[in-house]
Amino acid sequence: MQLSKTEEQLMQYLWKLEKAFMKDLLDIYPEPKPATTTVATLLKRMIGKGFVDYKTYGTSREYFPLVKKEDYFSKHVNGLIKTFFNDSASQFASFFTRKTDLSKAELEELKAIIDNELKNK
């Protein structure tokens, strides 16, 4: 299951805060801030999708993510590779390194990451 763009934005805030009350979420939004009812609706949908849960303290709810940011991102990258690069990580890496504006230092850093992974395999 996927999140909409607005749900994904809210999820980014929850990952950053780790747990938050409605006031905390509204505070982290830039101006113009969404209405409380809008955020409440997004949270309700995200709870229904299994991305968020909450603890109740009196009349307040403290929300927290159920899905790790890394897991969500990994699923999206793998879906992107499958859909647009014929399920080929090397085609994706080739496209990424040629079509993005990476500096020589960034490319060397990527190479070091790959070399390190090769050592660990």
The parent domain of residue 22 ranges over 5-65
Query: Would you state the pLDDT for residue 98?
Result: 85
Higher confidence at residue 63 or residue 106?
Answer: 63
pLDDT of 34 strictly over 90: yes
Query: What domain count does the chain have?
Result: 2
Closest CA to 61 of 14, 15, 16: 14
What CATH number is associated with residue 16?
1.10.10.10
Indicate whether 11 and 61 sit together in one domain. Answer: yes
Confidence of residue 96 (pLDDT cuts 50, 70, 90): confident
CA atoms within 13 A on the CB side of 74: 5
17 vs 12: CA distance, rounded Å: 9
Amino acid identity, position 119: K
Query: Would you state the pLDDT for residue 32?
Result: 94
Mean pLDDT, the chain, as a whole number? 92
